[in-house]
Amino acid sequence: MQLKDTVFGQKYTLNCGGRVIDLREVRIMGILNLTPDSFYSGSRLAEHALTAVVAQAGTMLEEGATFLDIGGYSTRPGADEIPLKTELERVIPTISAIKQAYPEAVISIDTFRSEVARAAADAGATVINDVSGGNLDAKMFDTVAELQLPYICMHMRGTPATMKNLNQYDNLITDVYRELIEKAVRLNRLGVKDVVLDPGFGFAKNIEQNFKILKELEQFTLAGYPLLVGVSRKSMIYKTLGLDPADALNGSSILHAWALERGARILRVHDVKPAMEAIQLWKRFETV
């Protein structure tokens, strides 16, 4: 039973549709954003031709990305809801085109809708990345169990439109950790073998809370589940430094290094090459 594996030892593998990813090697997840209103304008690919998106996927793979995370629903604070049909139209042709061009690519679908997760899996996605941790679709956990794909369980409260006002915690670290672990255990009991935890930087947390979680990130590794960190170009960086997201690459690299030091196994990033450099330098530092 997977619960036993995670409670008594760190889990270091993900079975992505038959391809086993070894997380003893830190991995990068490159962001392919198919929305027109992401918080970072440089990541918006919605208006680009499909061939350009596929080319960007190829560049990320060449630079060292293990996963490509494809999303068609903006989850920035205050984002509006979009119809299911729109999300499907954005992501499914892209997944199919990337898989045709790069058959070995490990594609993650960034969605909280079980119908999108299922359609994406049919098109070739082999990881499900749910920013809501199952909160926004009651069918998601059962769908993941049926598909038997790795599931990234992120912590969030409310919806993208409401989460900004839902950052009150009795104890930030304890509350976020408990809410994540309760879901991981539920997933294990449903037969989901591969669960990755994401504390959800920027989702129902203010800047101070984001830094608190980063400082105590190692606490989230205690149950043995692999840990994904997504801080790339986020407001905890650019607002702290008085910058725009476009100027937050240097800050992202610094926070990535801190996350690696505290147990992150997957970095979800906009900029693959700088993240790979951060990993290489951290590994060199660790071997001294």
- Indicate which residues carry an active-site annotation: 234, 268
User: Which residue in this structure is represented by tokens 């990755």?
Assistant: 196
- With tokens 């999300």, the residue in question is 87
Strand partners, 229: 267
User: Three-state SS for 119?
Assistant: helix
Return the HEC string of 130-194.
ECCCCCCCCCHHHHHHHHCCCEEEECCCCCCCCHHHCCCCCCHHHHHHHHHHHHHHHHHHCCCCC
Upper half-sphere CA count for residue 156 (Cβ side, 13 Å): 24
Tell me how far apart the alpha carbons of residues 222 and 166 are, in angstroms, rounded to a whole number.
Answer: 26
Q: Cα–Cα distances in Å, from 91 out to 24, 203, 253?
A: 30, 23, 28
Contact yes or no for 181/211 (Cβ under 8 A): no
β-bridge pairing 151-154 and 228-229: unpaired
Largest CA distance in the chain: 52
Alpha helices in the chain (DSSP H): 2-8, 50-63, 84-101, 114-123, 140-147, 172-189, 207-215, 235-241, 249-261, 272-287
Residue 284: CB atoms within 10 A of its CB come to 9
